[in-house]
Amino acid sequence: MIVTMKKVWSSLIFIGVCLGISACHAQKPIPTAATNETLLWRISGNGLQKPSYLFGTMHIMCANDAIVSPQLKGILDSVQQVYFEVDLDNMVEMITSMKAMAMKDGKSIRDYLTQEEYDRVAAYFKGKSPLPFKVLEMYKPLLLSAMIAEQSMKCEATNGMEMMILAEVAKRKKEVKGLETMAYQAGLFDSIPYEVQAKELLKAIDSAGSNKDDVSELLNAYTQQNLSQILALTLKEEGSMEGNLDLLLFGRNRNWVQQMPAIMKQSGNLFAVGAGHLPGDNGVIQLLKNAGYTLTPLLNEMKPVATAK
């Protein structure tokens, strides 16, 4: 989820070229999607002078499936800024947020597991991370659970849509910003008892084999842009943490939608957040509609590359 690149501002070269010729071609209109099952949406109406756009990302996926569509590239040409969940361009923030990944008061996973359980966790992570387990065991357990999902993928090379979009943003010299801070994201897990997190981590390790099928199902739903299925699988994945769905998912959606109107008044933007945040009654799409905006599903031609087996 955390990727860093050098921050760059919008280039003036294109403006200079436009002034030197009789006319500049506007962005070619993107066709609407045949259904609502798309990752790409236009936000308009409610007094906006320019449209903004919403795109659902996947933080980690098989590299062959991480594709930026021609339509999304066209949008990146037209917008002023790109907003991710966090500012992936901020090296200082990334470094300072590392402290927030650790449990408070010097706690360790060892404090919440039996010796036998602790040994199972340590054995699982042996050789699976560049960081020694002595460091990992101080991290909030749910952050370690996220590592298991990546290791459950049926492919050798992985990438993320944020990384792919950042590469395109760098080419266009657009500004990158975040809807929340990395420290805030890591701090969310302080609201969930560490003992509960440790038990969830243990369950994730014990079911790592069966998790591969669940991860493949989610990745297939993403490449098919099936938002309904993505929502169902996201809720299934968070089922054991049901009491914290508002904290980890819905509450964050509301916070983002509260910020977006002021941002969109200034200029056209692309908001690229996890695809699981888009659908449903409490998803960003519906919340923006409730706020008076028009959300239009757009064609998003991702090449149908099969997930590696």
Q: What is the pLDDT of residue 31?
A: 80
8 Å CB contact between 228 and 279? yes
pLDDT, tens digit, 9 for 90 and up, residues 138-182: 999 999 988 887 777 878 888 999 999 999 999 999 999 999 998
Q: Taking 60 as the threshold, does the pLDDT of residue 125 lie above it?
A: yes
Q: What is the pLDDT of residue 28?
A: 61
Q: Which residue has the higher pLDDT, 31 or 196?
A: 196
Percent pLDDT > 90 in the chain is 61
Q: What is the pLDDT of residue 151?
A: 77
Q: What is the pLDDT of residue 238?
A: 61
Amino acid at 239: G
Percent pLDDT > 70 in the chain is 86
Amino acid at 8: V
Label residue 55 exposed, middle or buried (CB < 10 Å: 0-12, 13-18, 19+): buried
pLDDT, tens digit, 9 for 90 and up, residues 26-55: 456 788 876 889 999 999 999 999 999 999
Average of per-residue pLDDT values in the chain? 85
Label residue 93 exposed, middle or buried (CB < 10 Å: 0-12, 13-18, 19+): middle
For the chain, report the end-to-end CA distance as a whole number of angstroms: 23
Q: Taking 80 as the threshold, does the pLDDT of residue 308 lie above it?
A: no
Q: What is the pLDDT of residue 46?
A: 97
Q: What is the pLDDT of residue 261?
A: 98
* Cβ-proximal residues to 226 (8 Å cutoff; 6+ apart), any chain: 37
